[in-house]
Amino acid sequence: MEKIIVFDTTLRDGEQSPGASLNHAEKLEIARQLAVLGVDAIEAGFPISSPGDFDAVKAVAKQVKGPIICGLARSIEKDIDAAYNAVKYSDRPRIHVFLATSKIHMKYKLKKAEDEIVKLAVAAVKHARSKCVDVEFSPEDASRTEKAFLYKVVDAVISAGASTVNIPDTVGYTTPFEYSELIKGIKENVPNVESCVISVHCHNDLGLGVANSLAAVLSGARQVECTMNGLGERAGNASLEEIVMAIYTRRDIFKGMTTSINTKEIYKTSRLVSKLTGMPVQANKAIVGANAFAHESGIHQDGVLKEPSTYEIIRPEDVGFGETKLVLGKHSGRHAVVERLKKLGFELDKEHLDKAFDRFKLLADKKKEIFDEDLETIVDEELSKTSEEFKLEHFHISSGDEVKPEATIKLKSHGKTIEATSTGDGPVDACYKAIDKMTGSSGKLLDYQIRSVTGGKDALGEVSVKISFKGRVVSGRGASTDIIEASIKAYINAVNKIARK
């Protein structure tokens, strides 16, 4: 297998996204997770840019083991010195030097001629090489650089000691076909190109960052520079997760190619980066978006339930996502509703299922998404019309600051009255223990909430509970002007759901 080197620049280019600034501790936390993810190189920052960034890169170099730790530098000696002094603590340090080579950059930004650019690039690489064995060079805006001049620069920096040469599409201008031809041209026209690794760094201004990167890989590039969630300047960089999963999924195209990425860590890393940068992941983002493995269409849901590969080319668990999400809405079909009801513990006969599905469709026209609680309510209301295992007949509570709370509860079940008395830590606990005695349910209270339905001292109180019965979690609700009565009703409501299931 031929390895594609994954060079992550989330902490450098990704952090340059407006509003995505990271502090020292946050950079370190992300770097540690990137090492767990299995990236080959981490561009930890631009050390000369600020004392804070220098310290953060230094901390990453000292504390994160495994990946190459890289610092960015302009082709200026003080930049290179700062980069080296920050990354030198790593077991695998790298200095990444860059200099623009396109006519538009040379004319308006650098105000220098081609010969001057070549001299500066060579001098910068030699200075970096005198400090560090691993040196990378980037001719900035390479995709808009005249080819003959680009070949000359690449040849010169390799001769000066660059072990990796990156060909950036700095402004996201190129297209996959053009970029593929550019990489082929470099490999065919630079005599010493085989002595270095060709890298690519693509921006997403035209939405082609990933496509361009993959086209370059097929043309001989062996390092891809990318970021988690596609963060980066302007429209961002090529997304690490999309590049890796494209290589992983399309082995028929990327024959014999592999990466070191532990794909099961992708989703976790994505969420960490999103949380710490404050940059949310769009719902329909490939691989890591909330909807990446969600299906609402009834046709799709039916297919996925029968065979996941009908509509999923990646298994959600392969990227650490969990399981496929069937979103219940107005486009959902009977198959998906039946499967969700089974997961909730309901096995309905045809009559009750037909009625429940009709009500589901009516509700789905009013609500964008139907949640488990909505389904439970629909089923409970349908079933309660024909059966209710237990009904509250009477309760008596004895409680006080010097009295151990005691509750006597009477329930009606199948025409018979049953009664039990129990003590507890409080009046509600005593009631629930008495109910457990009669029903044999022995539920574990996971959540208990009280809210006022109306205003005033005589307000109607609603109690909501979540109870675990042997691992099955059900909710229950009860309302009364007496909060103890509401609590009893809520618990009995939950017990009746278990009885029906």
Lowest mean pLDDT among 314-318, 346-350, 370-374: 370-374
Per-residue pLDDT, 70: 98
Contact 314, 287 (CB under 8 A): yes
Cα angle for residues 344, 347, 350 (degrees, 5° grid): 130
- How crowded is residue 102: how many other Cβ atoms within 10 Å of its Cβ? 22
Give the list of residues 6+ apart from residue 401 with CB closer than 8 angstroms, or none: none
Average pLDDT value for residue range 15-29:
87
Q: Among residues of the chain, what percentage have pLDDT more than 90?
A: 62
Q: Is residue 442 pLDDT above 90, yes or no? A: no
Per-residue pLDDT, 326: 61
Higher-pLDDT residue of 169, 356: 169
Higher-pLDDT residue of 428, 341: 428
Amino acid at 233: E
Q: Is residue 273 pLDDT above 80, yes or no? A: yes
The full set of domain ranges for the chain reads 2-277, 294-384, 391-500
Per-residue pLDDT, 177: 97
DSSP output for 415-437:
TEEEEEEEE-SSHHHHHHHHHHH
Q: Is residue 385 pLDDT above 60, yes or no? A: no
CA dihedral 424, 427, 429, 430 (to 10 degrees): 50
Per-residue pLDDT, 130: 97
Average pLDDT, the chain: 89
Cα angle for residues 157, 162, 163 (degrees, 5° grid): 140
Lowest mean pLDDT among 205-209, 317-321, 383-387: 383-387
Contacts 24+ apart (CB under 8 A), 429-433: 429/405, 430/397, 430/399, 430/405, 430/406, 431/395, 431/397, 431/407, 431/484, 431/487, 431/488, 431/491, 432/487, 432/491, 433/407
Give the list of residues 6+ apart from residue 348 with CB closer than 8 angstroms, or none: 341, 356, 379
Higher-pLDDT residue of 464, 347: 464
Contact 434, 443 (CB under 8 A): no
User: Which CATH number applies to 391-500?
Assistant: 3.30.160.270
Per-residue pLDDT, 64: 97
CA separation, residue 182 to residues 117, 144, 150, 156 (Å): 20, 10, 10, 18
**Residue 469: pLDDT band with limits 50, 70, 90:** confident
CATH class for the domain made up of 2-277: alpha beta
The tokens describing 425, both together, are 């830590």
The tokens describing 258, both together, are 């592999």
